[in-house]
Amino acid sequence: MRVGIFPNLVKKESAALVRQLIGICEKYDAEYYLPAYVGQSTQHVYASIKPEHLRPHLSIFDTVDVAMVLGGDGTILKLAKNFAGTGIPICGVNLGSLGFLYEVEGKSLESRFADILNGHYFLEERSMLHSELHYDDGLVQILPTALNDIVIGHGNVGKMIRVDMSINGRFVHQYPGDGLLVSTPTGSTGYTFSAGGPIVAPNVKCLLVTPICPHLLLKVPTVLNENDTISFSVTNSRNVVSLSIDGIIDIDFMQTMVLEVRKSDKKLTFMRFNENYFYKNLFTKLISAE
């Protein structure tokens, strides 16, 4: 088995966990590789790693059979576009606060590694979002695939924007407010939840549209069929409007553009060990927040 190790280089706990995981790989005669990052921030993690275990950032996705991602949900979000559609299963090892995408803690790392070698796991596929910008000159820009959400928001606090939404080519409604969120079930526990949207189990086949601080009475989120195509445009806005993809990539959204969002053909694959892990993580997180 060829193991890819993807640490969060910002978290100070990463170095010790990387060393632990490398020791486990060597104990079980598993090949292991890390992305060949360079820079001062990598020194505490990469200082003792031999060059033959490093691979260029993009080619590593053609090298490994399983990806061990060490960090939080944000670490997986940053890597999602690279793993999308590859079929490489992700095993998330949690560092710090409880993550919704993670199931393995450092203390159980070796036992879970043994489970993987013995085939004691199942694969879970998460849906993703495909989005594209249509310009008035006919140009179409394909945007990065999103695991969580796509946010239409304003740049200036206190100034409202108006977002028109159409579903399957038919105009539905204009939303005045701070913006709109389109999310997958995976994204329902993120910004969508903070904006008043529902929490949806990851195996539910749907898309979610949630208004952000809407003006007037239309404050309810909308649950759509996963095969619907949603189009958005901004009208009569004197404010700066931008698109945010998984909270990582920001793009200007002009009045001459139309944003089209639908379910992506690509999916993200996770390794799971407990059928009930989602609800266990969910209620642990909610109770700890009380």
Please state, in angstroms and rounded to a whole number, the distance separating the CA atoms of residues 145 and 90.
17
Q: How many CB atoms lie within 10 A of CB 45?
A: 23
Task: Kindly write down the DSSP assignment for every residue of 79-125, as one continuous string.
Answer: HHHHHTTT-PPEEEEE-SS--SS--EEGGGHHHHHHHHHTT--EEEE
Annotated catalytic residue 136: no
Residue ranges of the binding site: 73-74, 78, 148-149, 159, 178, 189-194
CB 232 within 8 Å of CB 163: yes
Residue ranges of the binding site for NAD(+): 73-74, 78, 148-149, 159, 178, 189-194
Residue 190's contacts (CB-CB under 8 Å, 6 or more residues apart) are 73, 100, 148, 149, 183
CB 109 within 8 Å of CB 101: no
Given the residues 29, 62, 65, 73, the one annotated as active site: 73
Please state, in angstroms and rounded to a whole number, the distance separating the CA atoms of residues 91 and 108.
12
Q: Which two tokens stand for residue 84?
A: 């999308």
145, 153, 162: which is closest to 252 by C-alpha?
153
In this structure, are strands 249-252 and 241-245 parallel, antiparallel, or unpaired? antiparallel
Strand partners, 148: none
Q: What is the set of active-site residues?
A: 73
